[in-house]
Amino acid sequence: MIDTQLLISGVIFGLSIGSIFFLLAIGLSLCFGLMRIISLDQLLYYSIGAFVSYTVFVVSGNTWIGVVLGMAVAGLASFGVERLVFYRIYERDIAFTMIASFGILIGGVGVIKYIWGTVPRPAPIPIEVQVRILGTEIPVYRLLIIGIALLVYVGIWLFLNRTITGKAIRAGIENVEHVEGLGINVYKLFTTTFIVAGMLSGLAGGIHAPLIMVDPHMGLHLVALVFMVVIIGGLGSIKGTLVSAFLVGQVTSIGSLIYAPLAQMAPFAIMLLILLIKPTGLYGSTLLKR
| Helix pair 140-162, 238-258: axis angle to 10 deg | 160
pLDDT digits (tens, 9 = 90+) for 18-65: 999 999 999 888 888 777 788 899 999 999 999 999 999 999 988 899
Q: Where are the alpha helices (DSSP H) in 36-139?
A: 42-60, 63-81, 87-89, 94-116
CA dihedral 52, 53, 59, 64 (to 10 degrees): 150
268-282 mean pLDDT: 86
| The pLDDT of residue 286 | 55
Residue 119's contacts (CB-CB under 8 Å, 6 or more residues apart) are none
Helix (H) or strand (E) holding 136, with range, is strand 136-139
140 — pLDDT class (breaks 50, 70, 90): very high
| Cα–Cα distance list, 126 to 22, 64, 208, 211 (Å) | 21, 8, 11, 10
* Residue 121, phi then psi, degrees to nearest 5: -125, 135
Q: Which amino acid is at 143?
A: L
Whole-number percent of the chain with pLDDT over 90: 44
Could you tell me if 24 and 254 are in contact, meaning their C-beta atoms sit under 8 angstroms apart?
no
Could you tell me if 281 and 244 are in contact, meaning their C-beta atoms sit under 8 angstroms apart?
yes
| The pLDDT of residue 32 | 82
Question: What distance lies between CA 175 and its chain's CA centroid?
Answer: 24
Closest C-alpha to 21, from 237, 241, 238: 241
Whole-number percent of the chain with pLDDT over 70: 92
53-57, 70-74, 265-269, 284-288, range with the lowest pLDDT? 284-288
| Cα–Cα distance list, 105 to 28, 152, 172 (Å) | 13, 24, 26
What pTM was computed for the model?
0.91
288 — pLDDT class (breaks 50, 70, 90): very low
Cα–Cα distance between 209 and 258 in angstroms, integer?
26
- In DSSP terms, 213 is beta-bridged to 122
Closest C-alpha to 195, from 150, 165, 226: 165
Cα–Cα distance between 104 and 180 in angstroms, integer?
29
Q: What is the mean pLDDT of the chain?
A: 87
Could you tell me if 129 and 140 are in contact, meaning their C-beta atoms sit under 8 angstroms apart?
yes
Q: Which amino acid is at 198?
A: G
